[in-house]
Amino acid sequence: MLTLKNLSTADRKRPLFNLNADLENSKIYTILGRTGAGKTELLRTLMGLDDIAEGHLALDGQDLAKRPVRKRQMSMVYQQFINYPHFTVLKNVVFPLRRQGYSVEDAKERALAALSLVGLVGFEDRMPSELSGGQQQRVAIARAIVKKSRILLMDEPLANLDYKLREKLREEFPRLLAENGDGIILYSTTDPAEAMQLGHEMIVMHEGQILAKDAPEEIFEAPATVEVAKLISDPPVSIVDGKVAEGRIVLCETELPLPPDLVLPANGPVKVGIRPDALLVGGDTTARVVLAEFSGSDTIVHLSFDFGSAVMLIEGIHEFMPDQIISVSLDTSSLLLFSAEGKNITERRSNG
């Protein structure tokens, strides 16, 4: 188990603040956050590349703070690939195995298996300068995974790869973990869908702090705060100001239909979270189109209401014009309620 207790760093540009987490063996953890949230700084601190200012970091109960990088049983893949330019592809992957004491034959066999995993069969004798950026990143991934370190740190490693290869490698991650025995994989990303898909658990970071740590589906269904709600979907949950008054939720002059299982808090101000797929075309509420954009096979529509702004996600390609007035409705079954301070206060009655 990897343990972080009250962990803070001294880097003024990229500080971490009071991080606490127990990371169990044989699990994949995805670290989700925007650029600058502290994801890379966390991985660098675990690796021993950046110093700890306060707190405790331990692996299986052993203090890591004073252990040098080469003795931390960790390997790291960076978003920007790092390879040995004077080695062939095969020698790049064989090199760490030879340093670990593997024979020439065993090291080559393991290296070829790793290169097959990342789709580089036939490139063994190429030099890194002869490869594309995506291929060079795959070499770096192969070199990291072949070592079978106790902890594999991956800093947005698939960002520079094409879609099909990203999907292939994502599917292989559970097998990588199984081959790694009691190892731990920490995988950072800015993509909520990737974080949901890959991890046994998700760690949500913002401004150098851990905002949430739980199973991805639990964080998605019940985000602890407004900030977490904004981070766990793309497009993000829309947050608008409203109030609870006499058994109603009111946004400006708009009264929302209430789902039967929603338990309302006491009268007073609330923040209402509207998921992008909960807004539907057609209904008795009008909105003005601010912007419409396409994302794959979906249409994202930015809308302006009398109570604020919200984003609608529609399956398929649809044409909308700026300033167009449209009618919409709101499916309130997935409505989220937050206190004025931003804490989740959504409560639903059980079916039982």
HSE, CB side, 13 Å, CA atoms: give it for residue 263. 8
Helix (H) or strand (E) holding 158: none
How distant, in Å, are the alpha carbons of 102, 113, 122, 127, 161 from that of 118? 21, 9, 12, 17, 11
| Band of residue 169 on the pLDDT scale cut at 50, 70, 90 | confident
> Which class would CATH give 2-230?
alpha beta
Whether the pLDDT of residue 263 is over 80: the answer is yes
State phi, psi for 271 to the nearest 5 degrees.
-110, 135
Contact assessment for residue 202 and residue 32, using Cβ atoms and an 8 Å cutoff: yes
Over residues 54-81, mean pLDDT? 87
pLDDT reported for residue 309: 96
Dihedral sign from CA coordinates of 146, 167, 211, 201: negative
Predicted local distance difference test score (pLDDT) of residue 146: 85
End-to-end Cα, the chain, rounded Å: 38
Rounded Cα–Cα distance for residues 318 and 187 (Å): 35
SS3 content of the chain, % helix, strand, coil (to 5): 25, 35, 35
Average pLDDT, integer, range 170-182:
69
Domain with CATH 2.40.50.140 in the chain: 236-348
Average pLDDT over residues 289-304: 94
Considering the domain delimited by 236-348, tell me its CATH architecture. Answer: Beta Barrel (2.40)
DSSP 181: T
Q: Of 7-11, 17-21, 221-225, 343-347, which gets the smallest average pLDDT?
A: 7-11
d(CA 263, CA 258): 9
Mean pLDDT of 32-54: 93
Where exactly does CATH 3.40.50.300 map onto the chain? 2-230
Q: Residues 86-114: pLDDT tens digits?
A: 999 999 999 989 988 899 999 999 999 88
> Residue range 313-329: average pLDDT?
95
Q: Coil, strand or helix: which one is 12? A: coil
Whether the pLDDT of residue 218 is over 90: the answer is yes
Question: Does position 315 have pLDDT exceeding 70, yes or no?
Answer: yes
Largest CA distance in the chain: 76
Tell me the pTM.
0.89
